[in-house]
């Protein structure tokens, strides 16, 4: 801890998610989320093969968090797309140390670096957050300027409450 009582930020390294380390992502997700992701989710993450959008955060050589983002079409907006944050998880012992912020910032920085080339069709970034997850809403809204949008009823099938909010941010 620092003198102010805040936990010290940790410097992390990033690494891609591959078929050889995908089980580490499964372990992070099991530890972080009230929902379980099926094998198709993990296959899709590996198939993206883009360590700028799907990556681990390492501290002292150990996986302490991960972000998984994909590019998807915006419905009813011909030819335009968005970044969709599928998951962002940081192991409990490492929360409050700036790791989640660094992971999201790294995705946004990648967008800024490639918005005129590889990600030229991307207009926004979006995710779903369970209605009871106030910490996540505060993280995205206060930390990154996301807007809380519509509530989607019964988005989740095996957790309570089953509802979520759509959080989004215009990128251009």
Residues whose CB is less than 8 angstroms from the CB of residue 18 and which lie 6 or more positions away in sequence, other chains included: 46
Report residue 5 as tokens.
């009582």
| Enzyme catalytic residues | 84, 128
- Angstrom distance (rounded) from CA 49 to CA 37: 19
Strands (E), the chain: 13-16, 54-59, 62-73, 81-90, 122-130, 147-152, 164-170
Residues whose CB is less than 8 angstroms from the CB of residue 74 and which lie 6 or more positions away in sequence, other chains included: 80, 81, 82, 123, 124
């Amino acid at each position: 801890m620092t003198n102010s009582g805040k936990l010290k930020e940790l410097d992390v390294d990033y690494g891609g998610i591959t078929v050889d380390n995908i089980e580490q992502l499964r372990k992070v997700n099991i530890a972080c989320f009230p929902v379980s992701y099926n094998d198709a989710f993990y296959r899709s993450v590996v198939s993206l093969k883009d360590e700028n959008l799907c990556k681990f955060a390492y501290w002292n050589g150990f996986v302490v968090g991960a972000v998984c983002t994909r590019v998807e079409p915006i419905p009813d907006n011909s030819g335009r797309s968005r970044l969709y944050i599928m998951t962002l998880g940081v192991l409990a012992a490492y929360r409050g140390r700036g790791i989640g912020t660094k992971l999201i910032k790294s995705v946004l920085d990648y967008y800024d670096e490639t918005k005129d080339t590889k990600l030229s069709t991307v207009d926004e970034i979006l995710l779903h957050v369970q209605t009871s997850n106030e910490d996540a809403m505060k993280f995205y809204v206060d930390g990154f300027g996301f807007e809380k949008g519509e509530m989607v009823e019964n988005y989740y099938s095996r957790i309570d409450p089953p509802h979520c909010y759509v959080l989004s941010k215009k990128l251009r």
